[in-house]
Amino acid sequence: MSDRYGDYEDRLLSDGNDESSETQTVADTADNTSDEYYELPTETASRNMIWSLLSLIFGIFSVATCQIYILSIILSILGVGASLYSRKRFGYFDRLSVIGLIISIFGLVFGLTVMVISLSGLFNL
């Protein structure tokens, strides 16, 4: 690496009439930007991981609160929405998002089932 920077300093100290020096500096600049480019997906992935985790948390709470059907339906809709938003940001479904989506759908089905049973009065004792 020291040779690379040494050549770069030599070209900067030259009179600047050499066309290859301009080409090399552009390539050096392109190398630096590509290094910065590869750091961005890691930051974006951690931000999207929050939405996947929220989807999983909402799904778990929607199943846990299925006896309170209104809360269960609201939490499951939030879980499905967080999962779909995570997919929109990632471009694909990650593992946590898929698990959160499945559990949120179960919570929605359980909440709707409890709602239909309680409103129909089938099990009034």
Residues 50-109: tens digit of each pLDDT: 889 999 999 999 999 988 989 999 999 999 999 999 888 878 888 889 999 999 999 999
pLDDT for 87? 87
**Is the torsion defined by CA of 89, 90, 92, 96 positive or negative?**
negative
Q: Are 8 and 24 in contact (CB under 8 A)?
A: yes
pLDDT for 26? 47
pLDDT for 4? 52
Least confident of 6-10, 19-23, 66-70, 71-75: 19-23
CA dihedral 42, 43, 48, 52 (to 10 degrees): 70
Residue 30 located in a structural domain: yes
**Other Cβ atoms closer than 10 A to 55:** 31
**Count: domains in the chain:** 1
Residue 11 located in a structural domain: yes
Residue 97 located in a structural domain: yes
Residue 25: pLDDT band (50, 70, 90) is very low
Q: Whole domain around residue 41: which residue ranges?
A: 2-120
Residue 25 located in a structural domain: yes
Residue 125 located in a structural domain: no
pLDDT for 121? 79
Residue 20 identity (one-letter amino acid): S
For 29, the enclosing helix (H) or strand (E) is helix 19-64
